[in-house]
Amino acid sequence: MKRQGKRDKWNSSLGFILSAMGSAVGLGNIWRFPTVVALNGGGAFFAIYLVIIFIVGIPTIIAELAIGKKSQHNVVTSFSKIKPDKKNWKGAGYLSMIASFVVLSFYSVIAGWTIIYLAGSISRQLLSGDAQVITRNFEIISQHPYLPIIGQVTFLLFTTIIVIKGISKGIERVNKVLMPGIIVILLILFIRTAFLPGAIQGILWFLKPEITKINFQVALNALGQVFFSFSLGMGAMITYGSYLGHQHNVPKSALIIAVSDLGVAILAGLTIIPALFAFGIPPETGPGLIFVTLPAIFSTLPLNILWASLFFMMLLFAALSSSVSILETSVAYLVDERKWSRTKAAYSMSAGIFALGIPSALSKGKLSGLAILGRNFFDFMDFLASNILLTLAGFLTVVFVGWIWGTKSALIELETNHPFKQKHLWSLAVRYVVPLAIAYIFVTGII
Ligand code: PHE
């Protein structure tokens, strides 16, 4: 544990890259991506998603890491550290912090289901060859009066304990084992699904863009998914960037993070979407999708307990390596600015997040009658965070880099030791393309 006032740093560049990958790769790729693809018309969504990654996602990761690296501060004060006369920009920092709260409040619900499924796989209770039984199991768990809350609080406790340990201890080392692990398991599952009867139909549905299905609602969902999956718009990348040394090559790391995140999402999509078709599970299933399809795939494999347990364990670890970065965002603020101890900051933030998350945990059970704007509480929080808060905060962040700090000054920071070949393209993106794209998609998608 670090003393207050002495900021932690990454031990190595590799450690940073793996941890930032750990933040990006998580439930967003394996749980949320296949779900939103399924709900938004398959290939049409995927095509827009790819475009948005390149014109919005990658330039924004670079911008966030640059802010962090330059300011060496938490998300709230980072803006005014760089531009001391722009005190109002703290508002953008607070917005990011609020977003982090909302994200973790429902993220921990899904991660809690993962813990329950892990226990249910080890004890064999949740494995069945019958798709109907599997669907029913999911209903029982997600509608249970208190089980989802137990899963959620357990997950938040794990997250808190890791965050208390600090940046350089634990997270870096753990990620080195977990990242390759999840890829290997996903590859095995992908190969298994590809041989299921009917799978090819699903693969085609996922990859074939049907132009007629593209509209602004789909684009807004794709934009929200890019922000969510890349951990953008809530200060996680600013915070992780703030523990970087001066020499680090930010654009190169950003590209590695983006490509690996996309790779894992594609692998998850190619595994889960075809399985839907093969097992006759409707694509509109929503957030429960992977909890229904994956146990169905596992039950067709020999050693099903082993695969199911390994998978849910990996999913849990992927969720943890992301949730740690979400909690760290507000903890860094309290430790840097308010001089709280890490322990006090981590416990109080996660207690608040837990309280906010309870209605999400119960949104399929006791609180299923509660609807906000036509969505249940969980779906509303997800929509609010991903499509509104993250995109708004992300918008302010790029405007700050493009126009307030200025891309010229930002490039001095980015080119400390390494030439940045695409710097003109990046400047163009940060000043014009990204803010305009976000504003356009946002306004038309919301209306
Ligand atoms: N990117 C993470 C995931 O895909 C979630 C996340 C969102 C993490 C925002 C940090 C910030 O699971």
Q: Which has more pLDDT, 5 or 56?
A: 56
Q: What is the pLDDT of residues 144-201, one digit of tens each?
A: 999 999 999 999 999 999 899 877 665 677 777 777 777 888 888 888 888 888 888 8
Banded pLDDT at 93 (limits 50, 70, 90): very high
CA of 128 to the centre of ligand 1 (A): 31
The 3-state DSSP class for residue 216 equals helix
DSSP assignment letter at 243: T
CA of 195 to the centre of ligand 1 (A): 31
The residue whose C-alpha atom lies closest to atom 6 belonging to ligand 1 is: 231
* Residue to mutate (ligand 1; options 109, 228, 397; most atoms within 8 A of CB): 228
Kindly state the percentage of the chain with pLDDT values over 90: 49
Q: What lines the ligand 1 site, CB under 6 Å?
A: 23-24, 26-29, 103, 228-229, 231, 234, 236, 322, 325-326
Q: Helix 250-279 crosses helix 171-194 at what angle (to 10 degrees)? A: 40
* Residue-level pLDDT at 440: 84
* Residue-level pLDDT at 261: 95
The residue whose C-alpha atom lies closest to atom 9 belonging to ligand 1 is: 231
Over residues 26-48, mean pLDDT: 87
Residue 155, Cβ neighbours under 10 Å: how many?
27
The 3-state DSSP class for residue 375 equals strand
Residue-by-residue DSSP string for 377-403: HHHHHHIIIIIIIHHHHHHHHHHIIII
Could you tell me the CA-to-CA distances from 171 to 35, 42, 234, 245 in Å, in that order? 28, 34, 19, 18
CA of 87 to the centre of ligand 1 (A): 28
CA of 321 to the centre of ligand 1 (A): 9
Q: Is 290's pLDDT higher than 50? A: yes
* Residue-level pLDDT at 2: 40
| Angle of CA points 316, 174, 114, to nearest 5° | 5
Average pLDDT, the chain: 88
CA of 446 to the centre of ligand 1 (A): 22
* Residue-level pLDDT at 445: 67
Q: Which of 17-31, 100-114, 154-168, 175-189 has the lowest mean pLDDT?
A: 175-189
Q: Which atom, in ligand 1's list, is nearest to the CA of 27?
A: 12
Nearest Cα residue to 155 out of 206, 197, 107: 107
Q: Which atom, in ligand 1's list, is nearest to the CA of 28?
A: 4
Q: Which has more pLDDT, 289 or 232?
A: 232
The residue whose C-alpha atom lies closest to atom 8 belonging to ligand 1 is: 231
Residue 382, Cβ neighbours under 10 Å: how many?
26
How far apart CA 366 and CA 151 sit, in angstroms, is 16
CA atoms within 13 A on the CB side of 331: 33
CA of 138 to the centre of ligand 1 (A): 24
CA of 254 to the centre of ligand 1 (A): 15
Could you tell me the CA-to-CA distances from 28 to 35, 111, 219, 282, 442 in Å, in that order? 10, 11, 17, 20, 20
Q: What are phi and psi of 11, to 5 degrees?
A: -70, -35
Q: Is 208's pLDDT higher than 90? A: no
CA of 328 to the centre of ligand 1 (A): 12
Q: Which of 71-85, 180-194, 231-245, 255-269 has the lowest mean pLDDT?
A: 180-194
CA of 115 to the centre of ligand 1 (A): 18
Q: What is the pLDDT of residues 218-237, one digit of tens each?
A: 888 898 899 999 999 989 99
Q: Which atom, in ligand 1's list, is nearest to the CA of 228?
A: 7
Q: What is the pLDDT of residues 350-391, one digit of tens each?
A: 999 999 999 999 988 888 878 888 888 989 998 898 888 988
CA of 230 to the centre of ligand 1 (A): 6
* Residue to mutate (ligand 1; options 231, 237, 331, 381; most atoms within 8 A of CB): 231
Please name the helix (run of DSSP H) or strand (run of DSSP E) that holds residue 291, with its range, or none.
Answer: helix 289-298
The residue whose C-alpha atom lies closest to atom 7 belonging to ligand 1 is: 231
Nearest Cα residue to 321 out of 205, 189, 136, 174: 174
Helical H runs in 170-234? 171-194, 199-207, 216-229
Kindly state the percentage of the chain with pLDDT values over 70: 96
Q: Which atom, in ligand 1's list, is nearest to the CA of 29?
A: 4
CA atoms within 13 A on the CB side of 369: 1
* Residue-level pLDDT at 447: 63
> Exposed, middle or buried, 421 (CB in 10 Å: 0-12/13-18/19+)?
exposed
Tokens found for residue 400:
């700050």
For residues 34 and 225, the answer to whether their CB atoms sit within 8 Å is no
Please name the helix (run of DSSP H) or strand (run of DSSP E) that holds residue 38, with its range, or none.
Answer: helix 33-39
Q: Which of 114-123, 238-247, 279-288, 413-422 has the lowest mean pLDDT?
A: 279-288
* Residue to mutate (ligand 1; options 32, 325, 330; most atoms within 8 A of CB): 325
Residue 284, Cβ neighbours under 10 Å: how many?
9
Q: Which of 107-121, 168-182, 397-411 has the lowest mean pLDDT?
A: 168-182
* Residue to mutate (ligand 1; options 32, 261, 326, 331; most atoms within 8 A of CB): 326
Q: What are phi and psi of 375, to 5 degrees?
A: -120, 150
For residues 402 and 436, the answer to whether their CB atoms sit within 8 Å is no
Q: Which has more pLDDT, 134 or 323?
A: 323
Q: What are phi and psi of 372, to 5 degrees?
A: -120, 125
Q: Which of 28-32, 157-161, 199-203, 347-351 has the lowest mean pLDDT?
A: 199-203
Q: Is 318's pLDDT higher than 80? A: yes
Q: Is 41's pLDDT higher than 90? A: no
Q: Which atom, in ligand 1's list, is nearest to the CA of 31?
A: 12
Over residues 430-437, mean pLDDT: 94
Banded pLDDT at 76 (limits 50, 70, 90): very high
* Residue-level pLDDT at 1: 40
The residue whose C-alpha atom lies closest to atom 4 belonging to ligand 1 is: 28
CA of 383 to the centre of ligand 1 (A): 14
Q: Is 5's pLDDT higher than 60? A: no
* Residue-level pLDDT at 171: 65
Could you tell me the CA-to-CA distances from 399 to 129, 287, 379 in Å, in that order? 52, 33, 29
CA of 56 to the centre of ligand 1 (A): 16
The 3-state DSSP class for residue 32 equals helix
